[in-house]
Amino acid sequence: MLQRIVLSLTLLLTFSALYSQNAEIPTNVNELENLNNLNRVTSMSGEVFFTDPDNKVYYIDFEATKSQVIQIQLWQNQEVLVKNESTDKLPYNTIFELKIEDLAPGEYSIELTTIDDDSIIQVFEVKATKEDLVKKNRK
């Protein structure tokens, strides 16, 4: 299973690098987009956050932040703290898995805090029905 995840991430990163050379970068970074378009890089968050093909897990690549990630917070509607985890003891090259499949419908944001006190934020939306796609917004 781990080999599949590593292989999938390797392929995703390779195709992402190839695609990003030709991708249009939107001028409105708050624009919601389909999670199937993860290859479009609009900011550093596009290099850090990835989902699995079923949109059930966010993979967070600590190494892509270029700084040590010391904390992960998951917020619902920018008001309710759903998860708060200290990550300062994890290796610099960790790929952190955050399950999103059981989240209630609404808007969520994942906030990474680095040792330099920088924040990297990934905003995404969970729809009410399984037929609707999870959408995300990069900040």
Return the DSSP state at 21: T
Rounded distance, CA 78 to CA 74, Å?
9
**Which tokens is 19 given?**
């695609």
Residues 6+ apart with CB under 8 A from 104: 76, 126
Name the most confidently modeled range: 21-30, 35-44, 107-116, 126-135: 107-116
Average pLDDT, the chain: 74
Residue 13 pLDDT more than 90?
Answer: no
Domains and CATH numbers, the chain: 2-138 (2.60.40)
Q: What is the pLDDT of residue 130?
A: 54
List for the chain the helix, strand, coil content (%; round to 5): 20, 35, 40
60 and 48 in contact (C-beta within 8 Å)? yes
Strands 95-99 and 57-61: antiparallel
State pTM to two decimals.
0.60
Taking only the tens place, the pLDDT of each residue in 31-89 is 444 443 333 333 455 689 988 888 889 899 999 988 899 999 999 998 999 999 999 99
Check residues 62 and 26 and name the one with the higher pLDDT: 62
Rounded distance, CA 1 to CA 14, Å?
20
